[in-house]
Structure 1
Amino acid sequence: MRIPFGLFFVFLSTFCHAQNLPAPITNDPDSAVIVYKDIINFWKAFDRSSQEGSQAFEKYYIRPGSNGVKHFIDHNRIVNADSLFGTVQKKRSEYLRVREQTLSIEKVVPQCKAVYYSFEYLYPKAKFPPLYFVIGRFNTGGVSLKAEQIIGAEMNELSNIPYLVAHELVHANQNIPYKYKILLEQCIIEGSADFLGELISGKVASQEPYRYAEGREASLKKDFLRDMELGENDDFANWLNAGKRKDDRPADMGYYIGYAITKAYYEKASDKKKAVYDILNIQDCKEFLKKSGYQPDK
């Protein structure tokens, strides 16, 4: 039987979905794939786990899971059905507290799509990997890869998800080599994702570093530029991740620093779209810092 040409793509899409093949990357926001079926599967497994134990998660969540679930398995975020079931038993009340909001993910999909359109306008070469919403073990809020983006729905407030999606979308489009393996690079990678994410969504996903920076901008700049000079031995814990810090500053103040450097570069640029291109394609973070004009206050 000959399949009509138009129906062939419907058949192909259905086949890929059924086989859990990776969804395609696209340059068209309208064609961008957003998958949240894993949320429904998780709660089906959750409800049946009281009778079926870990096998409920294997049968209803992991086995039919999307590529996002497979990634969380392969990279030890879910690990396996037994590990997930163990976490559910320990944190049952925490899972139940986020149940309603995770099942409402569909409500923020239009806002996520609006972020895509904004990004395409600023960066016509934008690529949109498939976006998966999954539920893990309360250990991963989001992962951005060139081939896919994954959001841990249990870790994020529903209203904040579009801003996190914006941040991760920028990461997926960055072409910034980790050349020197120093603090400056990682701060610029994260901070520029915050800056461009805010441009396309209207808000930075994690506000705490920015609230802390208010009124402390000059002293933070001085501290960072001093620490940066330590080169290969610079202390990431003072600026990134949740390690021990020297004062009361919150984690990830380096996001704010990278944001401030990127903003300084963007504001100096007469061609804003070219500035966006430059920010996404920084090849030398030290040179970018010089061009930004982000220097100690005199």
Structure 2
Amino acid sequence: MRVRRYFLKAAVSLALLLFVLSASAADTPPSPTISSVDITHFWQAYDAAIRVSDPLAQQDIVQRLYIDKGTAGLRAFMEAKGYTVQSYVDAIRSYPRYWASIRPHTLRAQSAIAALQPELVKLKVLYPQLRPATVYLAIGALKSGGTTQGDKVLIGAELATGDETVDIGEMTPKMQAWLTGYFRSKPFDNMVLLTVHEFVHTQEHGTARNLLGQAVYEGVADFVAEKVTGRKPPLPYVDYGPGNAEAIKAAFAKDMNGEDTSGWLYNDTHNAFGVRDLGYYVGYAICEAYYRKALDKRAAIRQMIELDFSSAHAVEDFVTLSGYFARVPRQHGLPSLSRP
């Protein structure tokens, strides 16, 4: 009888152990797939291209050795940013000192996001519905350090791995102004934060219809990435926004129902403040206000991530509930945020 009782207890203990282990495995996202082969292919193409002077020959080399051998991530990156073989040849021919100085940084790209997996574990705790995504490290033509397409996180290593040692002296004054501030933020040291931000984008739904929706779309990614990593991007809008909140809010309210994002998003400084990407700050502030008011914080995170950005009404309702705006007049035929 004692023997039978012992084996029964052992069987129950084993079953419980297997249940705990399986539950734990279900809660832990698999290690992300990270591809950096496009970086290797780019430098092979680059070395071959600079050995010839004819632009048409260079196009052929870049096409064969880089684009044709590219991953699904490179194809998505080119589509998302409008890159062509000519984009690459123009960049290669125009900025030889830049490419020489950024090269060793790009070769360390995969090591820069080696700590991504623990952050994705935290993200899954915050958002258990987390879907997998593949991270592609590629070389772009100086338009974007990071973006997404579907379930693909797309990192432009020629920007995202840089720092203040990169030679930008061949650039136009406008590009120098942008890259000086960007590289001062040490993007290489913040690639995990950038990648988590972009990972959040792969979970979001729909395409924003106006500036307000696009700002919230970016704000959700910034806000959730901060909750995961405990860090904000070390960029000017993060510091400037809180100290100028009311003026920014009033200016943003005038533009928010329109489709034009210039002056507010994506490195455009054509605004009254002279600070890039203040739309990110506005979106973050809306999410912060929404989260602060929410009784169920995890549900608030889910509502942010699952917001239907293709619906102006859904975005508007979210913003209304946040309480960020007290009253905003109707513009461009869309309902105002003060709708009853």
Match of 1:167 among 185, 188, 197: 197
- Cα offset, 1:252, TM superposition: 1.6
8 Å contact kept, 2:134–2:153: yes
- Cα offset, 1:31, TM superposition: 4.1
Q: CA, structure 1 residues 48+187, in 2 after alignment: closer, same or farther (shift >3 Å)?
A: same
One-letter amino acid of the counterpart of residue 107, structure 2: L
Q: CA, structure 1 residues 75+122, in 2 after alignment: closer, same or farther (shift >3 Å)?
A: closer
- 2:265 aligns with 240
Take 2:189 and 2:126, find their aligned partners in 1: how far apart are those partners? 24
Q: Does 1:199 align with 2:224?
A: no
1:126-205 correspondence runs (5 A):
126-156=130-160, 157-176=187-206, 178=208, 181-205=209-233
Match of 1:254 among 265, 269, 279: 279
- Cα offset, 1:214, TM superposition: 3.5
Take 1:218 and 1:146, find their aligned partners in 2: how far apart are those partners? 35
Give the TM-score of the pair, scaled to structure 1.
0.80
Match of 2:89 among 85, 105, 114: 85
Take 2:151 and 2:36, find their aligned partners in 1: how far apart are those partners? 17
Structure 1 residue runs of 5 or longer lacking an equivalent are 1-26
Which is higher, the Rg of structure 1 or of structure 2?
2
One-letter amino acid of the counterpart of residue 276, structure 1: I
Take 1:268 and 1:244, find their aligned partners in 2: how far apart are those partners? 32
Root mean square deviation, CA, Å: 2.6
8 Å contact kept, 2:267–2:276: yes
Match of 1:109 among 104, 110, 113: 113
Take 1:185 and 1:76, find their aligned partners in 2: how far apart are those partners? 20
Q: CA, structure 1 residues 267+208, in 2 after alignment: closer, same or farther (shift >3 Å)?
A: same
Give per-residue Cα distances to partners, 1:193-226, cap 9 Å, x unaligned. 1111111123233622112214212222233335
One-letter amino acid of the counterpart of residue 100, structure 1: P
Take 2:304 and 2:111, find their aligned partners in 1: how far apart are those partners? 31
Structure 2 residue runs of 5 or longer lacking an equivalent are 1-26, 161-186, 309-313, 328-340
1:5-44 correspondence runs (5 A):
29-44=29-44
- 2:294 aligns with 269
Give per-residue Cα distances to partners, 1:84-131, cap 9 Å, x unaligned. 233212111111111111100121232222221121111111112111
- Cα offset, 1:168, TM superposition: 0.8
Take 2:202 and 2:269, find their aligned partners in 1: how far apart are those partners? 29
- 2:238 aligns with 210
Take 1:109 and 1:243, find their aligned partners in 2: how far apart are those partners? 28
Between the two proteins, what is the percent identity of the paired residues? 28
Q: CA, structure 1 residues 235+132, in 2 after alignment: closer, same or farther (shift >3 Å)?
A: closer
- Cα offset, 1:242, TM superposition: 4.3
One-letter amino acid of the counterpart of residue 49, structure 1: A
- SS of residue matched to 2:295: coil
8 Å contact kept, 1:167–1:205: no
8 Å contact kept, 1:111–1:162: yes
How many residues matched?
266
Q: CA, structure 1 residues 218+78, in 2 after alignment: closer, same or farther (shift >3 Å)?
A: closer
Q: CA, structure 1 residues 145+31, in 2 after alignment: closer, same or farther (shift >3 Å)?
A: same
Give per-residue Cα distances to partners, 1:116-157, cap 9 Å, x unaligned. 112111111111211100002112222212231111101113
One-letter amino acid of the counterpart of residue 167, structure 1: H
One-letter amino acid of the counterpart of residue 68, structure 1: G
- SS of residue matched to 1:114: helix
